[in-house]
Amino acid sequence: MSVFDKMRSWVLRVSSGFVERAVRRTVEMLTADNVQQAMLCTCFMTGAVVEAFTVAPCFEQGMRGCHRWMVEFAHRPDDMRRFTELLDEVLRSLNRCYDIMRAGIISAPKVEQVPRATFHRWQQSGHWDAVPSIVGDEQLVEALLMFAREEAEFRKK
């Protein structure tokens, strides 16, 4: 997980055991290092502070594949559209295969904000020991998003 905090210098945390994971379903082979570097640079450029994130392949019926980012912000960027564009640009500069695939085969990434502490509560509920920066299973990400929505609804009551 990558974080830029104005009060501290650069912080780069890598969860052991997940470093070698890569998104391979659309051939571009993003590595954990790619996504962590891209998030770190994007946070630096936008002033955002990210507490946790994960990325997974996304295939919606009738559409090209893309990457779906679930992000927990400590400080949300002023412009989420610009944040997403910068994240894509940085990934394209870091990974030639991704750049080639983005030119015609896969769509722009989707960034979805989840409420703070979602990943922590997800871990406490026994779903993960640690939050991987890359998840290869769309269904797991859907379960995480459903969990986040249910938690948000519960907290409203």
CATH of the domain at 97: 3.30.300
Q: Which 3-state string (H, E, C) describes 76-141?
A: CCCCHHHHHHHHHHHHHHHCHHHHHHHCCCCCCCEEEECCCCHHHHHHHCCCCCCCCCECCCHHHH
> Comparing 79 with 147, which gets the higher pLDDT?
79
Q: Residue 50's pLDDT is what?
A: 94
Q: The dihedral of CA 140, 89, 40, 8: what is its sign? A: negative
Q: What is the pLDDT of residues 66-92, one digit of tens each?
A: 888 999 999 999 999 999 999 999 999
- How confident is residue 64, by pLDDT bands cut at 50, 70 and 90? confident
Q: Is the pLDDT of residue 156 over 90?
A: no
Q: Is the pLDDT of residue 111 over 90?
A: yes
> Comparing 128 with 34, which gets the higher pLDDT?
34
Q: How many domains does the chain have?
A: 1
Q: What is the pLDDT of residues 6-40, one digit of tens each?
A: 433 333 334 433 333 444 444 357 788 999 999 99
Query: pTM higher than 0.85 for the full model?
Result: no
- In whole angstroms, give the CA distance from residue 79 to residue 4: 17
Q: Residue 58's pLDDT is what?
A: 81
Q: For residue 125, what are the domain limits?
A: 2-156
Q: Residue 81's pLDDT is what?
A: 96
- How confident is residue 144, by pLDDT bands cut at 50, 70 and 90? confident
Q: Is the pLDDT of residue 112 over 70?
A: yes
Phi, psi of 151 (to 5 degrees): -65, -40
